Amino acid sequence: MRTLVAIPVYNEQKYVATVLERVREHAEHVLVIDDGSSDATPQLLANFPVEVIRHSTNRGYGHSLLDAFRWAAVDGFDWVITMDCDEQHEPASIPDFLEAARQNRADIISGSRYLIPQSEQASIGSPPPDRRAVNGIITDELNARLGLSLTDAFCGFKAYRVGALAGMRLDENGYAFPMQFWVQAVAAGLSIEEVPIKLIYNDMTRSFGGPLDDREVRLAHYRRVLHCELQRCAKRLPASALADVAEKECCGS
């Protein structure tokens, strides 16, 4: 089972060296997608024996994931694990994803920060209330429309069966990537499993950039992308998924 660990980064000079040192304890094949960093991140990456894709400009989180998927497919990997580089995803959890992949029960293994009640979890910090609220609202909407039982729709710590991604038409470049992904995963009939990961939130200054820092703007944007994708995949989805989805709500209308 050949597995690639792919890490999108953008201006992560504070964390990148520590994260890569720990990731390499658990992974032989590591790909870093540098999304146009303007700090010392590129120089620090040169100190590590990892593959690097370098964007000349910032193209978005979703674009970095798509680069990782393409690389994994072309290089013949069976699985690709994605994780963030801000120390909110523990490299020590990589073996949990590898073990779940070996069990061969699912095509998508998604980390969940909320699978274990917070009272029972050794969490570090807490996400801002507006982020937790938007996560919960969208996760509930995805579950209701798609018949899923996700507890954390936005966690970027995931393992993907590379072959299962082959038929997907993913093109969302930004932070709304999960909206498109979950719809297409259901449309493609992929099996999904969640694994618990530690809830870590150690930087309250993290920004989405621009207007998406506003809770209502972000929520509306996620819903537009979701509704657009529901329409695009309508023929492969149950009718219940399209309830109350109006054409005017779709992207580009």
Query: Model confidence over 232-248: pLDDT tens digits?
Result: 999 999 887 887 776 54
Q: What top-level class would CATH report for the domain 3-205?
A: alpha beta
Longest CA span, the chain? 52
What is the structure's pLDDT at 115?
A: 83
What is the structure's pLDDT at 76?
A: 97
Low-confidence ranges of the chain (pLDDT < 50): 248, 253
User: What does the alpha-carbon distance between residue 2 and residue 230 come to, in Å, rounded to a whole number?
Assistant: 33
What is the structure's pLDDT at 243?
A: 74
What is the structure's pLDDT at 253?
A: 41
pTM of structure: 0.90
> Other C-beta atoms within 10 Å of 171: how many?
10
- Delimit the domains of the chain by residue range: 3-205
Judged by DSSP in three states, 44 sits in: helix
What is the structure's pLDDT at 247?
A: 54
